[in-house]
Amino acid sequence: MLTELLEDFWAIREKNVIKIKELKEQGRKVVGIYCTFCPNELVIAAGAIPVGLCGTRDEPIAAAEETLPRNLCPLIKSSYGFAVTDTCPFFFFSDLIVGETTCDGKKKMFEIMGELKPVHVMQLPNLKGDGLYFQLWVDEIRRLRARLERELCAGISDEALWEAIDLVNRETRAVKEICDLNRQDPPALNGLELLAVVWSKGFSADRSGVVDMLVRLKEALVERQFQAAAGKSCCCPGPGREATSVPQWSRPRVLLTGCPVGLGSEKVVRLVEEKGGAVVAMENCTGYKTLELETGREHDDPIVALAHKYIRIPCSCMSPNQYRLELLERMIADFNPCAVVDLTWQACHTYNIEAYAVERLAAEKGLPYLHLETDYSASDREALKVRIEALLEMAR
């Protein structure tokens, strides 16, 4: 049962290519999204399907480098490479692309991408709080609402928006409950399984169905933990879980933070697990970063309510970004890691600079810390292995 549930998450992307194609033929619209700052609730309320588009594979980067600088972030190059080579079915099906100004590289790349598809770029304030910056963000969400209504030929009522908000809140809670199971020892999921669950859900055409999948997965994981508690036996191999002689409970627990990670760009997660560590939590955008954030009902205007939620996302583009450190401190207390790995994709300057503060926090908590700056290629795998192995030896 559990193996089948995990396989369903690994297969979401492939299965939904077919499903979205069928829905497109029936008249449904698709909106491609590149960042967690884009309110999925608006897309859902418009009757459209939101899909994640961030490139997480190395293969299309060569094509992107024919236009983009080689020393650009691999996430940006991969994203553009998929688009320009027309090898991403979700980009192909998208009627509108929503970008954001989280970094200068993405902002300028979206200008070029606009030659391929209609692109709407949200202007993100770099400061949180009330006043002028918050009002700018409210206006940006209203501007997106108007663009969606125009491009999708669909009205977005407040009632439909509140319903979408409730759905996304339920999904957020369900994902967080699964992630929180890794607070236990042994963890409920290994790093690759955890990544498959939190990353793959963004490709589903049926968000209610995903919530149901998450609930069933949590129930199965709780049952497995209950059965394994006495013997502390290793779980049976499944998708993303190789047979190993190293029991899960004896592995050094690792907290991963930094840039977004997806299936295809999971080499650091994979290397940590191969060298005997256990990635028990990920603070990255594709992980825990947004799971404490839900849209509240204390505001009458759903747009204002959404603005309060999304402006709090602790992305490194925010300055200052104290919430990220507060979140990491809570995660260290809750997930009890033995070490912290901070991943920075090459040319991501904001996360690279924030590594200073993250390293200081890890030192204050007495945890070994490793900052890795890399890209999507396999060229530095051996060097990464050596550094990760040394970190895990310190953590034992």
pLDDT at 246 > cutoff 60: no
Q: What percent of the chain has pLDDT over 90?
A: 90
pLDDT at 248: 59
pLDDT at 233 > cutoff 60: no
pLDDT at 241 > cutoff 60: no
d(CA 128, CA 178): 29
pLDDT at 228: 80
> Contact at 8 Å (CB) between 370 and 388?
yes
pLDDT at 129: 74
pLDDT at 235: 44
Average pLDDT over residues 164-191: 97
Q: What is the pLDDT of residues 308-321, one digit of tens each?
A: 999 999 999 999 99
pLDDT at 340 > cutoff 80: yes
pLDDT band at 226 (very low <50, low <70, confident <90, very high): confident
pLDDT at 262: 96
Q: Where are the beta strands (DSSP E) in 7-78?
A: 30-33, 49-52
pLDDT band at 222 (very low <50, low <70, confident <90, very high): very high
Nearest CA among 353, 323, 291 for reference residue 103: 353
Q: Which residues lie below 8 Å from residue 161, measured CB to CB, with a gap of 6+?
A: 41, 42, 45, 302, 303, 306
Q: Does 89 fall in a domain?
A: yes
pLDDT at 130: 72
99 phi-psi bin (left φ>0, alpha ψ -120 to 50, beta other): beta
> Contact at 8 Å (CB) between 27 and 95?
no
Average pLDDT over residues 167-195: 97
Q: Which residues lie below 8 Å from residue 97, measured CB to CB, with a gap of 6+?
A: 31, 32, 34, 53, 91, 110, 113, 117, 118, 119, 120
Q: What percent of the chain has pLDDT over 70?
A: 95
pLDDT at 116: 98
pLDDT band at 126 (very low <50, low <70, confident <90, very high): confident
Q: What is the pLDDT of residues 350-384, one digit of tens each?
A: 999 999 999 999 999 999 999 999 999 999 999 99
One DSSP character per residue, 105-116 reads HHHHHHHHHTTT
Identity of the residue numbered 3: T
d(CA 62, CA 77): 8
pLDDT band at 242 (very low <50, low <70, confident <90, very high): low
Burial class (CB in 10 A: 0-12, 13-18, 19+), 108: middle
pLDDT at 162: 98
Q: Does 1 fall in a domain?
A: no
Structure tokens at 125: 């304030």
Instruction: Assign residue 45 the CATH number of its domain.
Output: 3.40.50.11890
Q: Does 304 fall in a domain?
A: no
Q: Does 68 fall in a domain?
A: yes
Q: Does 91 fall in a domain?
A: yes
- Look at the chain and report how many structural domains it folds into: 1
Structure tokens at 389: 């192995």
Average pLDDT over residues 226-250: 58
Q: What is the pLDDT of residues 93-120, one digit of tens each?
A: 999 999 999 999 999 999 999 999 999 9
Identity of the residue numbered 355: A
d(CA 259, CA 60): 19
pLDDT band at 247 (very low <50, low <70, confident <90, very high): low
d(CA 239, CA 217): 14
Q: Does 344 fall in a domain?
A: no
pLDDT band at 127 (very low <50, low <70, confident <90, very high): confident
Q: Which helix (H) or strand (E) holds 145?
A: helix 132-152
pLDDT at 23: 97
pLDDT at 239: 56
Q: Where are the beta strands (DSSP E) in the chain?
A: 30-33, 49-52, 96-100, 119-122, 253-258, 278-282, 339-345, 369-374
pLDDT at 369: 98
Integer Rg of the chain from CA: 20
Query: Taking the mean position of all CA atoms in its chain, how far away is CA 87?
Result: 21
Q: Does 46 fall in a domain?
A: yes
Give the Cα-Cα-Cα angle 171, 124, 146 (nearest 5 degrees).
Answer: 75
Q: Does 117 fall in a domain?
A: yes
pLDDT at 323 > cutoff 90: yes
> Contact at 8 Å (CB) between 81 and 61?
yes
Structure tokens at 268: 């650091």
Work out whether the CA dihedral 223, 225, 230, 233 comes out positive or negative. positive
Q: pTM for this structure?
A: 0.94
Q: HSE of 268 in the Cβ direction (CA atoms, 13 Å)?
A: 30
d(CA 91, CA 86): 8
Nearest CA among 312, 45, 310, 287 for reference residue 166: 45
Average per-residue pLDDT for the chain: 94
Strands 49-52 and 119-122: unpaired
pLDDT at 237 > cutoff 60: no
The domain of 31 spans 20-156
d(CA 112, CA 84): 10
d(CA 139, CA 191): 38
Q: Specify the 3-state DSSP secondary structure of 84.
A: helix
> Contact at 8 Å (CB) between 249 and 232?
yes
pLDDT at 286 > cutoff 90: no
Average pLDDT over residues 229-237: 53
Average pLDDT over residues 22-45: 97
| Residue 143 to residues 28, 120, 146, 220, 306, Cα–Cα distance (Å) | 22, 10, 5, 42, 13
